Structure 1
Amino acid sequence: MADARVPMTKAGLARLKDELKRLKYVERPKIVKEIAEARAHGDLSENAEYHAAKDKQSHVEGRILQVEDWIARAEVIDVSKLSGERVVFGATVTLDDSQSGDEVVYRIVGELEADLKQGKISVTSPIARGIIGRSEGDEVTIQAPGGARKYEIVSVEFIEEEYEAEPE
């Protein structure tokens, strides 16, 4: 399973590439400098700054390897080329919660991009699994941790997410 494809949107891939660039060209040099400064303080066996910097270096190097792996296995789904009434990966779906009467909007994305606060749910989440393949007007019952919830699919849209890189 190590070489399984990782589905993601173009914006998700751009975010990963930005993170990798930041880790390699900002974080890594900063840690190397911290290690050099701590090493200059003398005895390394009792040098907390040195050990903290080495731990930080280990975490950053591990994250770099992880992000590089995700990028290498990325299967980018171009949402702008999708259309139709069926819910698929990349769709932005408006649901009517039958119990509360509230409308919720979710975008179905890869696991690495999921962020509930931004309305992005993983393709493997219970809600996404319950609505994928369904169409506008369909009613679905989702088994959620708090019990079964009924939703009606109000709309299915394919909106390309805008992503702006963070300023350098």
Structure 2
Amino acid sequence: YNQIGNNDIGIIKLVEEVSLDNYVQIACLPSESLSLFSGIEASTAGWGYQNESTNVLISFSLHNVKLSIYDINDCIDANVTSFMESYGKICAGEINGGKGTCTGDEGGPLFIEQLIDGEIRYVLVGIISKRIGCGRANMLEIFTNVQYYISWINFYL
């Protein structure tokens, strides 16, 4: 994306096909009409730290966690982001803490399950972008909103 502004997204085109397995799957992109509202449950996955006190970066197993979507103003109120940085972002986490992403998870997915053509599909709605700590209470997380960039993504795909 352009270098002006607070955009945390990129596209990499692969030369070779990728083999799909239990850890590598194709995610659906969100439609322009998808409505993400406060209270929707989303999931994220990563190979990063399990908590702030660990010193081992790479996990030997993929971990996932379910988080709630919040209004972006909740992240502004929690001082996780500013109003000027809130465009093209999703706020998610657990207000009481105890679970969330951690160091090494950046760039990972935030996805929702959606019924598409009679099948449950994973829809990529966000990309792990910014957080304070790992699953801290009152510290929600910021994700790049994939839907906000969908026209740009489709242009390059």
TM-score normalised by the shorter chain: which range applies? under 0.3
TM-score by length of 1: 0.21
Q: If each structure's helix is expressed as a fraction of its own residues, which one has the higher value?
A: 1
